Amino acid sequence: MGGEPLARVGGEPLAPVGGEPLAPVGGEPLAPVGGEPLAGAAPGQAARELAERVLAGHAASAARLIRMVEDGRPEAREALRELYPKIGRAHVVGVTGPPGAGKSTLVSALIAELRRRGRRIGVLAVDPSSPFSGGAILGDRVRMQRHSTDPGVFIRSMATRGASGGLARASWEAELVLDAMGCDVVLVETVGVGQVEIDVVDLAHSTVVVCLPGAGDDVQAIKAGLLEAADLLVLNKADLPGADDAERWLHVLLHSAKAPAPDAWDLPLLRTVASREEGIPPLVDALERHRAYLERSGELARIEARRARRPFVERVRERLVARALEGLEGPEALRLLAEVERRSLDPYTAADRWVEARLAGGGGP
Amino acid sequence: MNAAAVSERPIRVLLAKLGLDAHTIGVTVIARALRDAGMEVIYSGLKQTPEMVAATAIQEDVDVVGLSSLSAAHMQHFPRVVELLREQGADDKLVIAGGVIPAEDAQRLRDAGVAAIFTMGTSTDEIVAFLRQWAASR
């Protein structure tokens, strides 16, 4: 089951895309650069023009580039190559937590407060793809729609498409695109997570873990692994019964977890009622303090090194896996497998032989 | 699960409800059917304005915009969505509509650029087949 592949961008000049540029607060909207690519332009030319429009803040071009990355269009790579040297400004904030903690509502409230402070905001809201159909229902936007026509806000829903760490497969590249289009802050909302789906800590500069009171015994929903991911801890729905107990319990948990060094970041615990926008300015203050701490402490450079490394390693992995799997249905592989079936060869040795033979053919980078 | 059958390039669909009605059953049924057919469905909620729908369609870079109204808001709102998408250079998106739409209105909506109209009682299979066929022909 699955939709037919869309025959669209490949080979042809990019479809003209429209939409308003992401306007700086209180300033003139940036004019889209370029426009339609020339008919018959080389594919590299179209990608460069698309990159220019993204850099000019053109929302539809950013949206199109994210789509091209998600769909694995090869031209997307050329556009990303153009953008990469020109980015690195945005403060990337991960928002994660168990299902029902109010992540989308909190993101919406954060958008409102950050807009009051004059920031341009990009949002990536991730929901799971069905492992059966590959389809998805992406509903995080419902809570954020009041910002949909604000030209200083760009919201993109993403389906995980097989990724298992709480992010979408293309979240890294999408963040890069939002940075390039001029977002000061990129909010990345993960799928509702348990303990292990915390890839967002690798992508984000600051990770907000959202929990809620009364989920089972005390704050049962917030597990140790998730707590360790937090730079800021938010107790949302703090108007519910049990909030005070939950806060006390979280304090105990926080202060038993580690004794921070005097100059280390002291993980704050903040109470919010996101649906009424209560407690949001202190949360944004804490985010700004965390960003300043990262710069002051040198931690930011370590995060940037990690952020550079991760997509590199991922890409190496992808390419090696693809090459190693090539021809796995061919006669050579079948001969090896037949030996394994007869038990004249064990599967581990067979796999080592196969991989070494497959990868031996390649030269350097 | 048959991973090989999952499309690498799913069709993306925005489902939006315009007007003041609060009936979500129909749109929920359609969202699930499209998901089960391997599509990515962005649901933007109730009481959307044409401006919100157009901005959302562009930010999400959907292929298809599905509009629903059960409160007779279709004649003013649906053509406006088509117009806004066109103004913003996003007229490569297919606009379809569903809900309670009298036959005499349907023709006027088609004339205004709504590509297909699925009235009450349309099977979800029919909608899935239509979208797949459209996507394959692009």
ipTM comes to: 0.94
Q: What does R_g of chain A's alpha carbons equal in angstroms? A: 23
Indicate which of B28, B58, B62, B86 best probes the interface with A, i.e. most A CBs within 10 Å of its own CB: B58
Compute φ and ψ for B41, nearest 5 degrees: -110, 120
pLDDT at position A215 is: 58
In terms of Cα–Cα distance, which of A279, A278, A255 is closest to A267? A255
Shortest Cα distance from A19 to chain B (angstroms)? 5
Half-sphere exposure of B18 (CA within 13 A, CB side): 25
A12 falls in which pLDDT band (50, 70, 90)?
very low
Beta carbons of A21 and A29 less than 8 angstroms apart: yes
Question: Confidence class of residue A142 from pLDDT cuts 50, 70 and 90?
Answer: very high
The reply to whether residue A138 touches residue B132, judged by beta carbons under 8 angstroms, is no
pLDDT value, residue A335: 94
Q: Which residues contact A217 (CB under 8 A, 6 or more apart)?
A: none
Please say if the pLDDT value at position B91 is more than 50.
Answer: yes
- CATH fold of A87-299 reads Rossmann fold (3.40.50)
Q: How confident is residue A35, by pLDDT bands cut at 50, 70 and 90? A: very low
Q: Pick from A269, A192, A284: which is nearest to A238 by CA? A: A269
Residue of B nearest to A10 (CA): B138
Q: In what order do the strands lie in the sheet with A153-159?
A: A153-159, A121-127, A185-189, A91-96, A206-211, A232-235, A269-271
CB distance B41–A136 less than 8 Å?
A: yes
SS3 A2: coil
Q: Give me the residue from A3, A60, A159 closest to B89, CB to CB.
A: A60
CB-based contact A3 B90, cutoff 8 Å: no
Q: Is residue A353 scored above 60 in pLDDT?
A: yes
For residue A336, the one-letter residue type is: L
User: What's the pLDDT score for residue A259?
Assistant: 65
pLDDT exceeds 80 at position B68: yes
Closest CA to B40 of A357, A160, A7: A160
Environment class of B117 (CB within 10 Å of its CB; exposed 0-12, middle 13-18, buried 19+)? buried
User: Closest approach of chain B CAs to the CA of A358, in angstroms?
Assistant: 23
Q: Residue A260's pLDDT is what? A: 66
- Asked if the Cβ–Cβ distance from A63 to B36 is below 8 Å, we say no
Of the candidates B31, B114, B128, B59, which has an alpha carbon nearest to the alpha carbon of residue A154?
Answer: B59
Residues of chain A with CATH 3.40.50.300: 87-299
Span A56-75, pLDDT tens digits: 999 999 999 999 999 999 99
Do A171 and A177 touch, CB atoms closer than 8 A? Answer: no
Q: Residue A306 has which token pair?
A: 């990690």
**Looking at the predicted structure, is the pLDDT value of residue B73 above 80?**
no
pLDDT band (50, 70, 90) for residue B1 = very low
Average predicted confidence (pLDDT) for chain A: 85
Contact present, A22 and A120 (Cβ < 8 Å): yes
DSSP structure class, residue A348: H
Query: In 3-state terms, what secondary structure has residue A258?
Result: coil
Q: Which residues pair with A210 in a beta bridge?
A: A234
The count of other CB atoms within 10 Å of the CB of residue A150 is: 18
Q: Count of CB contacts below 8 A, A vs B?
A: 149
Rounded Cα distance between A250 and B114, Å, is: 53
Return the pLDDT at A130.
94
- Cβ–Cβ under 8 Å, residues A50 and A77: no
Q: What are phi and psi of A234, to 5 degrees?
A: -115, 125
pLDDT in tens, A315-337: 899 899 999 998 888 999 999 99
The alpha helices in chain A, defined as continuous H runs, are 43-55, 59-70, 74-83, 103-116, 171-180, 200-203, 224-228, 243-257, 280-297, 299-325, 331-342, 347-360
Residue A15 has a pLDDT of 37
pLDDT given at position B12: 98
CB neighbours (10 Å) of residue A286? Answer: 20
CA distance A267 to A100: 23
- What amino acid is encoded at A164 in this protein? S
Interface touch B40/A135, C-beta < 8 Å: yes
- Name which of A1, A6, A142 is nearest B11 (Cβ-Cβ): A6
Query: Which residues does residue B69 pair with via DSSP β-bridges, in sequence order?
Result: B99
Three-state secondary structure call for residue A244: helix
User: Residue B127, Cα to own-chain centre: how many angstroms?
Assistant: 10
Above 70 in pLDDT, residue A277?
yes
Is residue B88 less than 8 Å (CB to CB) from chain A?
yes
- Tokens, residue A90: 């945005």
C-alpha separations of A296 from A119, A169, A202, A263, A290 in Å: 22, 32, 20, 10, 10
As a whole number of angstroms, the longest Cα–Cα distance in chain B is 45
Cβ–Cβ of A136/B40 closer than 8 Å? Answer: yes
Closest CA to B38 of B137, B113, B138, B135: B135
Residue B136 tokens read as 């394959």
Q: Name the DSSP class of B68.
A: E
Any idea what the Cα angle at residue A5 is, between residues B121 and A174, rounded to 5°?
105
Percentage of residues in chain A with pLDDT exceeding 90? Answer: 65
Which residue's entry shows tokens 């996003």?
A: B90
- Return mean pLDDT, chain B: 90
The CATH code of domain B14-137 reads 3.40.50.280
**Residue A216: pLDDT above 80?**
no
CB of B50 within 8 A of CB of B80? Answer: yes
A197 confidence band (pLDDT: 50, 70, 90)? confident
Q: How confident is residue A192, by pLDDT bands cut at 50, 70 and 90?
A: confident
pLDDT band at A120 (very low <50, low <70, confident <90, very high): very high
